[in-house]
Structure 1
Amino acid sequence: MRRTAKLTRVAVGVASIALAATACGGTSSDSGSGNGGGGDKKGLAIAYDIGGKGDQSFNDAAYAGLQKAQKEFGYKTADIEPTEGETDADKEQRLSSLAKQGYNPVVGVGFAYGPAMEAVAKKYPKTTFGIVDSVVQGDNVASLVFAEQEASYLAGVAAAKATKSNTVGFVGGVDVPLIRKFEAGYKQGVQDTDPKVKVVSQYLTQTAEEGGFSSPDKGKAAAEGQIEKGSDVEYAAAGLSGQGVIEAAAKAKVWAIGVDSDQYKQAALANYKGSILTSALKDVGGSVYALAKSVQDGKPLTGTQTFDLKVNGVGLAESNPELAKIPGLSDAVAKAKAGIIDGSIKVKTE
């Protein structure tokens, strides 16, 4: 029987998991035995997406969920890095190895794990699998998906209120449906707030293999080009490449909007934090933790689990005090959030 229990604010929340420490690169086949007397018991394992641990964004958010589960449940965890130019067969081998070792649940971070997870889940029916940002069919698979367009809409509202040039930018890592959701929500939020504001967009690559999610230099170059065209607010949905966008914005003394994690708070970006107006939050860590908790409780989540504004699965960061100083911004964001939740604002996905 497929369990699709309703998510609640208790289970997840954008503010529920903060990155306790700046993640660094590297691969850990055993993140530690944890606390609480778990002994040799093995629990949550995650396989990272392109960019790996240390991206200050998507992958690090998943790692924060793993850390929370490890601390709370006192078991051994594992987190495994991707390899350059890997194939679906490589991903399948990685997921199989984790399941065979006894880790449960096993989570693939990113839509690229879709084909591999579909194959592996059938081979290990007693293991619960989770995939972030994709829907995979399987009686033992939880598809952890997000309303990225809703958080991006709020980012667009903030951008429209913050711009002085009436031009704002969007940098997408790879031209795929997932990232187009970010762009669609952002553009709609900008236009609904102020139709006079122009959005200039650019995708770094057509495929992930070309480095769209893992090349800060590409992100920096794209942002510099948009800033030359007059953009004074830069929003990136580009994984590790987004760090280059933030760097370019800081150098040009314009605003940057982060993504997935609250990038204003991250130590690795401390030199640029004054330029990070806000971040479109996506509680990847909360979703990973929620899945781990469901397995720990003996009631594993399966099926499609959607994390949206209603359950605080997405949102907009408020860490930078400058955000509240921009006339009308906070009120406009609050109004937009309420409208999305009550259904009076329908956010586009493309």
Structure 2
Amino acid sequence: MTVPDDFSRFEVNTAAELAGANAQRFHGIQLVDGYFGDTDTPHPINDPAANGYSHTKGTGKLRLGQAIAWTFGVYKTNPKFWLAIGLVIAVLGVADQIPGLAVLGLLFAIGGFLLEPVFVSAALQQTLTAQVDKLKSPTYGKALGVSVVNRMLVGIVGLILAAIAFAITLAVTGFDPTVFADSATMTQEQMMAIAMAVLPAVIVGALVLALVVPFAVYPVYYAADNAGSFGFCLGEGMKAAKRNYGTTLLLLLFSLVVGVIAAIPAAAVDVMGFNVWAGAGLTFLLTVLLAPLVYLAQAHAYRQVSGGPVPHEPGLNETGLNEASS
């Protein structure tokens, strides 16, 4: 867009508002205009009495602490909704670790990928009102398509860069790839020595691959929010990641920590001889509780970086200070 949207369609003092409607009626309607606010600029949908939040216009910059703090507070306002979503995520992500269900792992993985736009949409709904009664995904097709294309692009670029970094590291360390010619006659000790020699290149390649992952975070949120056309959502999502690269990396680190905590019991099965049923069961339970945190934190982050409606506790501005004193 070349001019700011006047957002006249979001006038809150309407008959619908007087009848008790809230910002959920705007879910799936474009809420960003390509322009950003400051820390105190109210978003046009701002109506704390109806929504349970006050909303400021995102500044385009990610405040990670604010996103995480809001995320942990969401369970207090809508626990049943998110525990139900967490249960679905756990079934799709953990069930294949249960004895007898491993053969269904691929189907569960596909199911999780197909449902991801729904989870993203639910998190965006949660940023609109404190209470969410019904899950809706009005732009599911576009969100799924953007997710597929975005991940393919990021994956291809990441693998190319990782391969280049891998090759350069091997050259710098002086590793001779011809040693693999006699791999059939190598002893276990020789194979271990080669593995240790290659390890630095593997680590460097993996790190380079990880460095492109931030560009795969926001496009699906732009699409699920119906922020624009297919190409706009893809491009603006990547621009938002570039603009907030460091903080988006930290956001992904938060997601990684959540995932590692949930996976510890299942990993203990192999590492510590933990009972397989107990390990899978505890990981399942932790996934139910923790997995929604990832989507909620990313949804709040998206609202900030896109210039959309950023939710706050009523009476607080974006810095977390009371508006009367700021």
- The TM-score, its normalising length taken from structure 1, stands at 0.27
Structure with the higher helix share, 1 or 2: 2
> Which has the higher Rg, Structure 1 or Structure 2?
2
Higher RCO structure, 1 or 2 (CA under 8 Å, sep 6+): 2
Normalising by structure 2, we get a TM-score of 0.28
Higher strand share: 1
